[in-house]
Chain A
Amino acid sequence: MIWPLDIILLCFLVLLSLITAFSRDLLAATVAFSIYSLVLAIVFAQLNAPDVALTEAAVGAGITGLLFVVAITRTTRWEED
C-alpha cells in the first residue's frame, strides 16, 4: 500500500462527494458521482479488495450513473428550491 497515493485519492473522494452534494446541475452531480465510484474502486483495489472494487466499478459507475441519467432525462436537469 502506497500511502501518498491513498491520501491523494481520499482527498479527491471528499472533493467529489462535496461536488455531488452541493451541485445545482444534477447531470454534473451524476457525472461527479460516477467519478467518485471509479476512484473508490481504485481505493478498494489498492486496499487488496479486488472483488469489492469490481462490484463498485460495475454497479456504482455503470448502472447507478446510467439510472440517474435516465431519470434526469425523464424529469429535469436543474435543481430548484
Chain B
Amino acid sequence: MNKDESISVIVRTVANLLFCFIIVYGLYIIMHGHLSPGGGFQGGVIIAASAALLFVAYGYKFADEKYSEKGFTFLKSAGALAFTGLAFAGIGIAFFYNIFWHEQIVLYGPPGTLFSAGIIPFMNFAVGTKVLAGIVIGVFTLGLFQMAKGETDGDGREEGGGGAEE
C-alpha cells in the first residue's frame, strides 16, 4: 500500500457499496439491543468498522481531510454524558431507575416489542455513540500520527520514497 494513494479501484468500489449497509446494520443492532443479541457496544464497533474501512480504502490523505478529532471527541463526551444523564434521570427513586417506562413518558409499549424498555434504547444509543467515537479516534490517531511522524523525520520506513509529499 502506497503512502499517499488508496489501494485500488476494486477496494474503493466495494467500500462505497458496503459502507451504507454496514452503518444500517450497526444501527439495527443498536436499535434492537434490548430485544436481540447485541447492543450499544457491538453496534458501535460495527459502525466504527465502516469508518475504518473507508480509512483503508481511501488512504491517508482522505482521512486527514475528513477526520476531525474535535468532532469525534465531542461525540465521545456526548455519549458518556448522555449515558450518565439518563442514569440520573430517575434519581428520585433510584440510580438507573427506568423512569421512562414506569412513568409512561416515552417507549412504554408492552415488553418484547420494539418501542418498549424505556431508557434502555437511549442508553444503547449513548453507548454506541461513545464506542464508535472512541474506536474511530483510536484507529485514525494511530494512522495519522505515524504519517505525521514520517513527514517530520524525513525517512519513514523506507530510505528512498518516504517523506517527499509536501
Using CB atoms and an 8 Å cutoff, list the residues of chain A in contact with chain B.
50-51, 53-55, 58-59, 62-63, 66-67, 69-71, 73-76
Chain B residues within 8 Å of A69, by CB: 56
Contact of B142 among A50, A51, A62, A70 (CB under 8 A): A70
Contact B41 A63 (CB under 8 A): no
CB distance from B5 to the nearest CB of A (A): 12
Contact of B49 among A51, A54, A63 (CB under 8 A): A63
Which positions 14-57 of chain B face chain A at CB distance < 8 Å? 29, 37-39, 41-42, 45-46, 48-49, 52-53, 55-56
Contact B142 A54 (CB under 8 A): no
Whether B70 is near chain A, meaning CB under 8 Å from some CB there, is no
Contact A54 B38 (CB under 8 A): yes
Chain A residues within 8 Å of B107, by CB: none
Q: A63-B139, A66-B52, A74-B146 are in contact. Are A55 and B157 (CB under 8 A)?
A: no
Contact of A67 among B29, B38, B142, B147 (CB under 8 A): B142
A-B pairs with beta carbons under 8 Å apart, 18 shown: A54-B38, A54-B42, A55-B41, A55-B42, A58-B49, A62-B46, A63-B45, A63-B135, A63-B139, A66-B52, A66-B53, A67-B138, A67-B139, A70-B56, A70-B143, A70-B146, A73-B1, A76-B157
Contact B52 A51 (CB under 8 A): no
A74–B162 Cα distance when bound, in Å, is 11
Contact of A75 among B1, B46, B53, B157 (CB under 8 A): B157
A58–B38 Cα distance when bound, in Å, is 11
Contact A71 B45 (CB under 8 A): no
Contact B45 A58 (CB under 8 A): yes
A67–B140 Cα distance when bound, in Å, is 10
A10–B134 Cα distance when bound, in Å, is 33
CB distance from A21 to the nearest CB of B (A): 24
Most buried by A among B29, B55, B135, B147: B135
Chain A residues within 8 Å of B48, by CB: 63
